[in-house]
């Protein structure tokens, strides 16, 4: 996660880390720190995820990268041949069709999510095309985090 995104979300308390990241261009970067158990909303479920926070010169195309630990926590089963990802969260199973998300037009070259419900997909796409997608994503994530904090404090 870029430091700028963490700052926008109001996250400033990072755990120190000694890891070094080696990028594809062979450059080595040291993260600002890590944040643990950030609630990520997938459908109607919150899944805790850990992020490595990096200070970057420019805003990346994909501000959040959810990797293998997140997929393991979410109980992901990936069917590459059929282009499907199933998340198993307790008794809840969510199905995502990766190939359909690739057919959607992108905003400034960015795909933002894989739609879960076919009937709401077009409505949400129209909403994304009318407003700034990063602002929408960050606003909804901030609202989700506030809801999560209220649930924890209840």
The domains of the chain are located at: 3-153
Tokens 């979300």 — which residue?
A: 9
Do 114 and 94 meet the contact criterion of CB atoms below 8 Å apart?
Answer: no
CA distance 74 to 86: 9
Summarised one tens digit per residue, pLDDT across range 79-136 is 888 888 888 888 888 888 877 766 655 545 554 444 444 445 566 556 556 666 666 5
For helices 133-153 and 118-130, give the axis angle rounded to 10 degrees: 120
Task: Give pTM, 2 decimals.
Answer: 0.55
CA distance 74 to 69: 9
């Amino acid at each position: 996660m870029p430091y700028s995104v963490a700052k926008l979300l109001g996250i400033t308390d990072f755990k120190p880390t000694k890891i070094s990241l080696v990028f594809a261009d062979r450059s080595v970067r040291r993260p600002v720190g890590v944040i643990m158990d950030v609630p990520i909303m997938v459908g109607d479920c919150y899944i805790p995820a850990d992020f490595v926070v990096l200070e970057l010169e420019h805003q990346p195309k994909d501000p959040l990268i959810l990797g293998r630990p997140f997929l393991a926590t979410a109980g992901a089963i990936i069917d590459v041949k059929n282009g499907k990802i199933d998340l198993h969260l307790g008794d809840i199973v969510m199905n995502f069709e990766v190939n359909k998300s690739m057919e959607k037009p992108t905003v400034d070259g960015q795909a933002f999510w894989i739609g879960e419900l076919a009937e709401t997909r077009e409505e949400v796409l129209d909403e994304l095309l009318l407003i700034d997608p990063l602002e929408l994503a960050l606003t909804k994530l901030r609202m989700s985090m506030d809801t999560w904090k209220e649930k924890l404090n209840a």
